[in-house]
Amino acid sequence: MTGLDSMEWVGWENFDKILHDPEFWTSVSNTFLIGVISTVPQLLVALGLAHLLNYRLRASTFWRTIILTPYATSVASAALVFALVFRADGGLLNWTLGLVGFDPVNWANGHWTSKLAISIIVIWRWTGYNALIYLAAMQAVPNDLYEAASLDGASRWQQFRKVTIPSLRPTILFTIVISTIGSMQLFGEPLLLEGGAMGATGGNENQYETLSIYLYNYGWNLGHLGPAAAVAWAMLALLLLIAAVNWLIGRYVVRTSDSAVRTGATR
């Protein structure tokens, strides 16, 4: 590692270095793609789960606890188990796919399959947590709204769409922001999917290298803290960019759903 005292002023050189590194741009697009693949299904499933948990159920605490157990599992443990599940030869997933007649997939090697594998780890760990957050918000929706909607002849699906979803809007925005921030920082999952030297570079072709991995590889594996710090700033810039897009989409969603539900019931 570069001696910390031997650092000297280089101006924009470190930024120049990473911005001209194709591996950096691969990491940017990987991070972005994994973010989308992991966040969107995760929040949709969580919403459906919360809806189910909101029914009057036998042993409701049991179901909630079960669904939350992945949250208690650390990134490291989760990534290591899934590394075995995703093994090309004799992994649990390929074995199951084999039963249905599919050929084994080399999950970690493929450009899309490796991103999917990492997303599945993320989805597994966080869906239950988000479902509980949605559930809490659903239980805060006043029952009068549902009564009013049903008096107007709204079906259950319409009630879900026109009462539940709009009432959950602040919570949904909150979870989108939190999951986006989280997905920008994925580190343990890609590091341990294959482990060792593969993990430090995000696969043999950097197919699942995230920005955090790139930062780690530059700063700690190769020992250049300067470029690593430049990567950190790039991450902040990207995060702000995504936050701005989120905000714009959020505003758009608010406007359209407001005009759709002008019954005065939502806010």
Partner 1 sequence: MTMTSPTPTAPVKLAPPPKGSAPHRPSRFRMGAGQQMKGGPFAYIALAVVGFGSLLPLYWTLVAASRTQDEVLASTPPFLPGGKLVENLQTAWEQANLGKAILNSIIVSSSITAATLFFCTLAGYAFAKMRFRGRGWLMTAVIATLTIPPQLSVVPLFMMMSGLGWGGQLESVIFPTLVSAFGVFFMRQYLIEALPYELIEAAKIDGANNFRIVVSVVLPVARPAMMVLGMLTFVQAWNDFFWPYLALNQQNPTLQVALGQLSASYTPDQSIVMAGALISTLPLLAVFVLFGKKIVGGIMSGAVKG
- Restricting to residues 88-107, name those near partner 1 by CB under 8 A: 89-92, 95
Residue 249 within binding range of partner 1, rule CB under 8 A: no
> How many residues interact with partner 1 (rule CB under 8 A)?
104
Residue 70 within binding range of partner 1, rule CB under 8 A: yes
Rounded Cα gap, residues 193 and 86, in angstroms: 9
Residue 18 within binding range of partner 1, rule CB under 8 A: no
**How near is the Cβ of 247 to partner 1 at its closest, in Å?**
12
Residue 247 within binding range of partner 1, rule CB under 8 A: no
- Residues 177, 267, 252, 137, Cα dihedral to 10°: 30
Residue 73 within binding range of partner 1, rule CB under 8 A: yes
Q: Which is nearer to partner 1, 57 or 111 (CB)?
A: 57
What part of residues 33-62 is at the interface with partner 1 (CB under 8 A)?
A: 48-49, 51-58, 61-62
Residue 28 within binding range of partner 1, rule CB under 8 A: no
Q: What is the DSSP string of 57-114?
A: -TTHHHHHHHHHHHHHS-HHHHHHHHHHHT-TTT-HHHHHHHHTTPPP--TTTSHHHH
Question: What is the per-residue binding string for partner 1 in 152-171, x denoting contact by CB under 8 A?
Answer: --x-x--xx--xx--x--xx
Question: Which residues fall within 8 angstroms of residue 251, CB to CB, at 6 or more apart?
Answer: none
- A 10 A CB-CB count for 203 gives 21
Rounded Cα gap, residues 234 and 256, in angstroms: 33
